[in-house]
């Protein structure tokens, strides 16, 4: 596995320069990304991972690498004929997500994540990241080049509040927000196109796609469905989210609305293929309680972070295969 690229956001949503420890000004973001990101010609798939609640720098690093390792191992062990080769280029995005594991801590990080995208620059910064990667890659469907014959695919993966960051960034590309870098192969209005958007145990209201995230369903640069996992054993988005917002979160109950845009399926074992028909909806809930169920008895979050399994990698690889 190639060494992942690590990018840090501060609590205001700005990238942090690892050499100076200072936030990167908006006007310098393109130069910053050019200095730290170099998509190799041999890469077939670019995976951007944004972690969730309760991760310090070391834990975020370890868990992202664990997920990237699961992808590599699962591909080596599996049979993905439609996928062809897999040479991953991995990017992890870290942000300040630590708090106490109780309701007050959950509310604090919920409010911080919200402020980082509404008052800060997190959505713009991530949008610039995705736009830069889009500009650097060989776009699928374009003429063969010295890079790859079929193109390089862009996958966004978030966990918990990290999933909100990812959706915010993709949605920002559809509106009249700040300009980002790159270009789109399907529609000139879009600065980039995401091939896969997968969120594990999303910390958001089950009706958020009829409110704050409604534009992402109507007008956003996503080729495939928005796929979210859920588990009734996730107490963070069950108990704490319900106490904080009056309703259990997506990670516990899934997306509930708009009903005609939502499909439901079950997390497959690694030897079972996903069909295109079961993922043929704008939003897909993936019931994962049979696998995401473990949580230490003293941890109020329950199975919120119990996602590090081969089946999780199998889900992303299957979505990548269908994106081909």
Residue 286 in tokens: 């993936």
* pLDDT higher than 80, residue 175: no
**Could you give the domains of the chain?**
5-323 (3.40.50)
Residue 150 has a pLDDT of: 60
HEC states along the chain?
CCCCEEEEECCCCCEECCCCCCECCHHHHHHHHHHHCCCCCCCCEEEEEECCCCCCHHHHHHHHHHHHHHHHHHHHHCCCCCCCCCCEEEEEEECCCCCCCCHHHHHHHHHHHHHHHHCCCHHHHHHHHHHHHHHHCCCCCCCCCCCCCCCCEEEEEEECHHHHHHHHHHHHCCCCCCCCCCCCCCCCCCCCCECEEEEECCCCCCCHHHCCCHHHHHCCCECCCEEEEECCCEHHHHHHHHHHHCCCCHHHHCCCCCHHHEEEEECCCCCCCCCCHHHCCCEEEEECCCCCCCCCCCCCCEHHHCCCCHHHHHHHHHHHHHHC
* 286 bridge partner residues: 229, 265
Per cent of the chain over pLDDT 90 is 66
Residue 107 has a pLDDT of: 92
pLDDT band at 184 (very low <50, low <70, confident <90, very high): very low
The CA radius of gyration of the chain, in Å to the nearest whole number, is 18
Residue 122 has a pLDDT of: 92
Instruction: Identify the residue with better confidence: 103 or 265.
Output: 265
Average pLDDT of the chain, as a whole number: 88
* pLDDT higher than 90, residue 300: no
* pLDDT higher than 60, residue 180: no
Residue 221 has a pLDDT of: 78
* pLDDT higher than 80, residue 102: yes
Q: How far apart are CA 129 and CA 181, in angstroms?
A: 8
CA separation, residue 226 to residues 59, 240, 253 (Å): 26, 24, 16
Q: How far apart are CA 251 and CA 288, in angstroms?
A: 10
CB contact at 8 A, 225 and 284: yes
Residue 316 has a pLDDT of: 98
Residue 194 has a pLDDT of: 87
Average pLDDT value for residue range 45-64:
95
Pairing of strands 15-16, 5-9: antiparallel
Average pLDDT value for residue range 209-237:
90
* pLDDT higher than 70, residue 296: no
Per cent of the chain over pLDDT 70 is 90
Residue 146 has a pLDDT of: 34
CB contact at 8 A, 110 and 53: no
* pLDDT higher than 90, residue 103: no
Average pLDDT value for residue range 289-311:
87
Residue 153 in tokens: 């695919």
pLDDT, one tens digit per residue, over 10-19 is: 999 999 999 9
Can you state the angle between helices 103-118 and 122-136, rounded to 10 degrees?
Answer: 60
pLDDT band at 302 (very low <50, low <70, confident <90, very high): confident
CB contact at 8 A, 266 and 286: yes
Number of other CB atoms surrounding residue 264 within 10 Å: 14
Q: Could you tell me which residues come within 8 angstroms of residue 172 by beta carbon, excluding any fewer than 6 positions away?
A: 123, 124, 127, 178, 180
């Amino acid at each position: 596995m190639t060494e992942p690229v690590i990018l840090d956001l501060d609590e205001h949503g700005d990238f942090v320069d690892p050499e100076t420890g200072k936030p990167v000004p908006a006007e310098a973001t393109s130069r910053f990304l050019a200095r730290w990101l170099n998509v190799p010609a041999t890469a077939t798939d670019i995976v951007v991972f944004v972690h969730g609640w309760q991760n310090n720098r070391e834990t975020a690093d370890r868990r992202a690498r664990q997920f990237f390792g699961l992808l590599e191992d699962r591909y080596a062990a599996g049979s993905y004929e439609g996928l062809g080769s897999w040479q991953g280029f991995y990017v992890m995005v870290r942000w300040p997500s630590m708090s106490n594991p109780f309701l007050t801590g959950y509310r604090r990080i919920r409010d911080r994540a919200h402020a980082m995208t509404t008052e800060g620059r997190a959505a713009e910064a991530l949008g610039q990241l995705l736009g830069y990667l889009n500009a650097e890659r060989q776009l699928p469907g374009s003429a063969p080049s010295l890079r790859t014959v079929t193109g390089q695919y862009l996958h966004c993966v978030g966990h918990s509040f990290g999933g909100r960051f990812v959706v915010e960034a993709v949605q920002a590309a559809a509106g009249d927000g700040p300009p980002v870098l790159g270009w789109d192969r399907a529609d000139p209005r879009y600065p980039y196109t995401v091939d896969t958007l997968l969120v594990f145990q999303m910390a958001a209201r089950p009706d958020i796609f009829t409110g704050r995230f409604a534009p992402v369903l109507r007008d956003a640069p996503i080729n495939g469905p928005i796929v979210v996992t859920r588990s009734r054993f996730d107490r963070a988005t069950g108990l704490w989210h319900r106490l904080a917002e009056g309703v259990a979160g997506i990670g516990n109950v899934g997306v509930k609305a708009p009903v005609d845009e939502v499909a439901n399926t079950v997390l497959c074992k690694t030897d079972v293929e996903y069909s295109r028909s079961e993922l043929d909806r704008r939003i897909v809930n993936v019931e994962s309680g049979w696998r995401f169920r473990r949580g230490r008895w003293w941890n109020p979050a329950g199975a919120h972070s119990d996602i590090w399994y081969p089946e999780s990698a199998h889900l992303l690889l299957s979505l990548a295969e269908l994106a081909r």
